[in-house]
Amino acid sequence: MDNTERLRLIKRNTQEIVTEKELKELLKEKKKPSVYLGTTPTGRPHIGYFMWFIKMGDFLKAGLNVKLLLADLHAALDNTPWEVLEYRYKYYDQVISLAFKSLGVDTKNFETIKGSSFQLNKDYILDLFKLASYTSINDCKRAGAEVVKFGKNPKLSGLIYPLMQAIDEEYLKVDIQYGGVDQRKILMLARERLPSLGYKPRVELMTPIIPGLQGVKMSASDFKSKIDLLDSPEDVKIKLNKAHCPAGEVKDNGVLAFLQYVIFVIKEDKNETFIIERPEKFGGNLEYKSYKDLEKDYIAKKLHPLDLKNALAGEINLLLEPIRKGFKDKDLIKKAYPEDL
């Protein structure tokens, strides 16, 4: 695969790259650059995670070494109770592994890393103290504003979170950090501050934040905004039927966003079409090769929201079935999320 195709895969469905010039130079200079994504084991993973499962699949196809950081200490800093932390780490590890299998991703050059496995060593802690002495409280608050749950009475731990995410780039030995655009301020903090520790700035790559089922950001902690990776086929249909999907409207439409960034990417890679089944009296089946064509028909109101939801429910259930079948440890859910009982 030449660098043009590698760059296309890396850039697919990204919103911003800081900087693309550095990324191109990296691909010329290094045969197998490394990239990482960090996620905190907080609320239960939802279907929005498929967007970054697919993105990490793009990186693997482009010949990158891919690291997934399960940031258990970050989760604690962001108000996850310490007593459930290990259970949530194990839960995330299991369901994410099953999700990659569901997509058929080749994970030869993929590894999962537990944050506390390296974030407690003395060199890391010393760098954290150094960075804390170089960074103002206001800079930390600003960096974490869209990611950390500060609340009305912010805890000191929330200020440590962005500093650790910056230092992680060096200790994971990566060339690129990948995150949602909501993490932009933390990623820019990393670029600005790592040189103060004698470390090089990395390439920062961001994808959009897709709306949830209620038209706002899909959140692991908001039950109504998401479909859980272990939801039953019936629950998937019920939640989609209640989803915010106004006829002819694209803005804040979580149904359309999931189709654009997940389903049509999968279809494109498999050279398949997206089929919406309808009775002949309502015009018969519709078949789409591209998201743009579907969106055009939706805006023109040639496509009813209910027909769209029904077709999407089928696709989501195909993705979730291997996860449902593969996940056996029901006791782990009870230990990780006792509040759901």
- The single-letter code of the amino acid at 125 is I
Q: Kindly state the tokens that stand for 100.
A: 């990659």
According to DSSP, the β-strands at 16-18 and 203-207 are antiparallel
- The per-residue pLDDT for range 127-146, each reduced to its tens digit, is 999 999 999 999 999 999 88
Class level of CATH domain 3-207:
alpha beta
Q: Chain-wide mean pLDDT for the chain?
A: 93
What does the pLDDT read at residue 222?
A: 53
Percent pLDDT > 90 in the chain is 87
Residue of 85 and 214 predicted with greater confidence: 85
Q: What share of residues in the chain are helix, strand, coil (percent, to 5)?
A: 55, 10, 35
- Any idea where the domains of the chain sit in the sequence? 3-207, 223-340
pLDDT band at 150 (very low <50, low <70, confident <90, very high): confident
Q: Out of 1.10.645.10, 1.10.240.10, 3.40.50.2300, 3.40.50.620, select the CATH number for domain 223-340.
A: 1.10.240.10
Question: Does position 204 have pLDDT exceeding 90, yes or no?
Answer: yes
pLDDT computed for residue 212 by the predictor: 85
Residue type, 245: C
Q: CA 273, CA 118: separation in Å to the nearest integer?
A: 44
CB contact at 8 A, 17 and 23? yes
Confidence of residue 296 (pLDDT cuts 50, 70, 90): very high
Task: Please tell me the predicted confidence (pLDDT) of residue 12.
Answer: 95
Same fold, 3-207 and 223-340: no
Q: Which residues contact 164 (CB under 8 A, 6 or more apart)?
A: 71, 73, 74, 77, 119, 128
Confidence tier at 149 by pLDDT (50, 70, 90): confident
- The single-letter DSSP state of residue 282 is G
Task: Tell me the C-alpha distance between 263 and 311, whole Å.
Answer: 11
Look-up of token digits 């470390």: 199
E-only strand ranges, 62-152: 65-70, 110-114
Average pLDDT over residues 62-87: 96
* pLDDT tens column, 15-73: 999 999 999 999 999 999 999 999 999 999 999 999 999 999 999 999 999 999 999 99
